[in-house]
Structure 1
Amino acid sequence: MTPLLSLDAVDHVFADGSHGLRGCSLGLERGLRHALLGANGAGKTTLLQHLNGLLRPSAGTLRRDGQPFDYSRAGMAELRRRVGLVFQNPDRQLFSAQVEEDVSFGPLNLGLDTGTVRARVASALEAVGLQGQGGRAVHHLSFGQKKRVCIAGVLAMEPEVLLLDEPMAGLDAAMQVELEALLDRLAARGVTVLLSTHDVDFAYRWADRIHLMAAGSCIASGPAYQVVRQQDALRAAGQRTPSALALHTLLAERGVLAGDHHPRSVEAVLDALRALPTIHSGAPST
């Protein structure tokens, strides 16, 4: 299958001569959940900005549906419509005084009529759990609420691809659960999602595909259950083995659980243990 978006041997050299990407190749298959893992400075944010067209390759190629991307004004407008990017820090993305104004900015720039814009804004705010909050002042919102407004602003554009840079950063546990549920709903609607994260347990539990980055290159890509078994690549990307995989491997080695299954969370491993028949030992003889 031709990737919806891909980078082909992309380099990026910043103005100061430092390298953000080095021969980086990565493809996003349509409709899947993708997680991007790597240590700080690995190039995750730079990669996301290339996929959205905010940065242009110093060498290599950005492809859309297999074709080299056209960086003309029309091409850029189409890419930004189809590919939405949510920054890690919401204050970099919010610029309007009110929630509704901010969310409506993108659809208005598409030239949509007022009725369509209002409908998209209402739908996007409902999707992120902020229905009825359109009149609130942005500076009165919590950090987590600001992140949700940023996501709503992107969703109002109705993109095919949603890119999120460390979306869980700064959120408490309850907000992380809510955001994960939102991402699941978007994926169920066919939106291709790529997010960067440092949480290998979350990535293993949530993603269909995992991409590992180190020193500006994507060093491994593939189905989540396969990539997390590449120990050398995990270490190079500054990651550990997911807890669920480590626990299941240990139990399989001891014959407690079958080794041909791939539980993706510790809770799934515990469910497998709960499903085992109970062994009753007899009382010790005297």
Structure 2
Amino acid sequence: MTPLIELHAVEHAFADGSSGLRGCTLSLAKGQRHALLGANGAGKTTLLLHLNGLLRPSAGSLRWHGRPYDYSRSSLSALRSSVGLVFQNPDRQLISALVEEDVAFGPLNLGLDDATARSRVATALVAVGLGGFGRRPVHQLSFGQKKRVCIAGVLAMEPKVLLLDEPMAGLDAPMQAELEALLDRLAARGVTVVLSTHDVDFAYRWADEIHLMAAGRCIASTAATELASHHEALRSAGQRMPQALSLHAELARHGLLPGGAVPRSVDALLAALRAQPVQEPTGELQT
């Protein structure tokens, strides 16, 4: 697939001299669900901030649609209208008193008229399951609701790429399921979704492409279905093998499931196991 965003040997040094990225090279294909997978401190958040232009590389280069990133004010504004970023902590992103005001901030900054901005706000809030929350004070929202408002604020810009930093952090299981369903709907509409996580089971279940990160570099990129062949890279990224892969290997070894295609989650694995014919015991009982 043609890369939508490319990084080549990107370096980033912070003001205190520490390194965030060390020669990071990575390609992100259009219309895919991408997971940046790695331990804390691997450089995932720093990478996302570069994709959105909030950080500029100390060395190396980034390309958008094959063209080098332009860090002029007008070009960055255009980039951020197409590449939206949702922070891990929603309180870093929410700036207005009311939900609808916060979601409208981006569209109004694009120069859209009030009617168009209101329409986008309404559509975005419905998309994240907050259709009746427009006049709700932001400070009255739960953590999960605040995250969804942040996503709505980015969606109201109608981005081509949605970046999310640890989107599942701080959410309970039902909220995680709702957010995963939302991300799937966005991907089905053609939005390229890039998120960071250190949850290997979620990454394996959800992503089309997995990019393993360690020490500020992307050490491997693979289709999620090919992750089983990357044992060493997973270990270097501080990750174990996904549970679905490990369990499938054991069940296949004992003849309880066929080899070949592996279910992408434990739930899917259990469904495949239940679908297998029950074998009646053979032979007579010995006394």
TM-score (norm 1): 0.97
How many angstroms apart in 2 are the aligned matches of 1:8 and 1:228?
Answer: 26
Partner of residue 67, structure 1: 67
CA displacement at 1:97 relative to structure 2: 0.4
Partner of residue 175, structure 2: 175
How many angstroms apart in 2 are the aligned matches of 1:192 and 1:99?
Answer: 25
1:84-142 C-alpha deviation (Å, 9 max, x unpaired): 00000000000100000000000000001111101100000000110011001100110
The answer to whether the aligner puts 1:125 opposite 2:125 as a matched pair is: yes
How many angstroms apart in 1 are the aligned matches of 2:54 and 2:25?
Answer: 17
1:43-66 C-alpha deviation (Å, 9 max, x unpaired): 000000000000000001110012
Contact 1:9 1:25 in 2 (8 A): yes
How many angstroms apart in 2 are the aligned matches of 1:182 and 1:85?
Answer: 16
How many angstroms apart in 1 are the aligned matches of 2:286 and 2:54?
Answer: 75
Contact 1:2 1:66 in 2 (8 A): no
How many angstroms apart in 2 are the aligned matches of 1:24 and 1:226?
Answer: 22
How many angstroms apart in 1 are the aligned matches of 2:157 and 2:228?
Answer: 34
- The letter of the residue matching 1:97 is A
Runs of 4+ in 1 over 3 A off after TM superposition: none
Partner of residue 284, structure 1: 285
CA displacement at 1:255 relative to structure 2: 2.6
Contact 1:9 1:61 in 2 (8 A): yes
CA displacement at 1:284 relative to structure 2: 2.4
How many angstroms apart in 1 are the aligned matches of 2:132 and 2:221?
Answer: 41
CA displacement at 1:277 relative to structure 2: 1.4
How many angstroms apart in 2 are the aligned matches of 1:142 and 1:19?
Answer: 35
- The letter of the residue matching 1:101 is E
- Aligned runs of 1:50-199 on 2, under 5 Å? 50-199=50-199
1:28-76 C-alpha deviation (Å, 9 max, x unpaired): 1111101111111110000000000000000011100122111112210
Distance 1:233 1:261, change over 3 A: same
CA displacement at 1:228 relative to structure 2: 4.2
1:172-217 C-alpha deviation (Å, 9 max, x unpaired): 0110010001001000000000111111101100000000100000
How many angstroms apart in 1 are the aligned matches of 2:262 and 2:274?
Answer: 16
> What's the % identity of the aligned pairs?
72
The answer to whether the aligner puts 1:25 opposite 2:25 as a matched pair is: yes
Alpha-carbon RMSD across the aligned residues, in angstroms, is 1.1
The aligned length equals 286
Which structure 1 residue ranges, 5 or more long, are not aligned?
A: none
Distance 1:265 1:154, change over 3 A: same
Which structure 2 residue ranges, 5 or more long, are not aligned?
A: none
CA displacement at 1:262 relative to structure 2: 2.1
Partner of residue 232, structure 1: 232
How many angstroms apart in 1 are the aligned matches of 2:234 and 2:108?
Answer: 43
1:193-245 C-alpha deviation (Å, 9 max, x unpaired): 01111111011000000001000000010101223431111011111000000
